């Protein structure tokens, strides 16, 4: 019985460690996806004269963030401004919970200017957010690998520690 409890505790703590490591990885993946999509939005704004709905629809076709962009388009089609639509999407999508304040603020600033200012300002804001997310992504590339190893190792060690206590 004790042995079973010890094995279960090792498994549970290891799984908890892996889940936390996966969350770090998801954050990095989300930042990279946003980076790619913001770049495409910026290029669409610069080289086309399509409205925001059409631009977002175009980029959502090849994006891993498609469900989120679709919700954004639905909010825009219901008459919301970009700011309100983005606010609505960021509150309701689980993906946004893995991002930190730095990234969220940058994205909030970007979407608050969409459809509100002229093309050159929108392009400048898009470039700013692109560089911000790019810096964050570069900074975190090595840190994410270390964090993943750390959380997995600490999870397994905690499980073994609990198992020792039980046995």
Partner 1 sequence: MEITLIFKIAGIGILVAVAVQILKQTGRDEFGMVACLAGLVVVLMLTVDVIAELLNHLKQLFNLY
Enumerate binding residues for partner 1 (CB under 8 A): 146-147, 149-150, 153-154, 157, 160-161, 164-165
Name which of 104 and 149 has its Cβ closer to partner 1: 149
Q: How far is the CB of 84 from partner 1 (least distance, A)?
A: 39
Least distance in Å: CB of 149 to partner 1? 8
Our CB check for partner 1 shows the closer of 116 and 153 to be 153
Q: Nearest Cα to 121, choosing from 70, 19, 60, 45?
A: 45
Instruction: Please provide the distance, in angstroms rounded to a whole number, between the alpha carbons at the two ends of the chain.
Output: 10
Task: For the chain, state the CA radius of gyration.
Answer: 21
Instruction: Provide the minimum distance between the beta carbon of 32 and partner 1 in the complex, in angstroms, as a whole number.
Output: 22
Question: In angstroms, what is the minimal distance from the CB of 152 to partner 1?
Answer: 10
Residues 6+ apart with CB under 8 A from 150: none
Is 66 or 149 the residue whose CB approaches partner 1 more closely?
149
∠ at Cα 92 (89, 95), nearest 5°? 85
Which C-beta is closer to partner 1: that of 17 or that of 106? 17
**How far apart are CB 90 and partner 1 at their closest, in Å?**
29
Name the packing angle between helices 82-92 and 101-113 (round to 10°): 150
Residue number, 41 or 136, with CB nearest to partner 1: 136
- The answer to whether 17 and 151 have CB atoms below 8 angstroms apart is yes
């Amino acid at each position: 019985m004790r042995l079973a409890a010890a094995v279960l505790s090792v498994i549970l703590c290891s799984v908890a460690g892996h889940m936390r490591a996966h969350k770090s990885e998801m954050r990095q993946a989300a930042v990279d996806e946003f980076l790619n999509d913001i770049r495409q939005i910026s290029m669409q704004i610069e080289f086309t004269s399509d409205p925001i709905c059409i631009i977002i629809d175009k980029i959502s076709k090849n994006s891993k963030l498609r469900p989120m962009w679709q919700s954004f388009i639905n909010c825009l089609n219901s008459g919301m401004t970009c700011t309100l639509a983005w606010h609505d999407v960021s509150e309701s999508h689980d993906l946004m919970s893995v991002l930190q304040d730095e990234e969220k603020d940058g994205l909030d600033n970007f979407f608050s200017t969409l459809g509100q200012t002229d093309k050159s300002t929108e392009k400048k804001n898009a470039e700013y957010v692109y560089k911000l997310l790019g810096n964050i992504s570069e900074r975190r590339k090595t840190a994410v690998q270390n964090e993943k190893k750390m959380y997995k190792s600490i999870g397994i060690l905690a499980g073994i520690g609990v198992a020792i206590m039980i046995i």
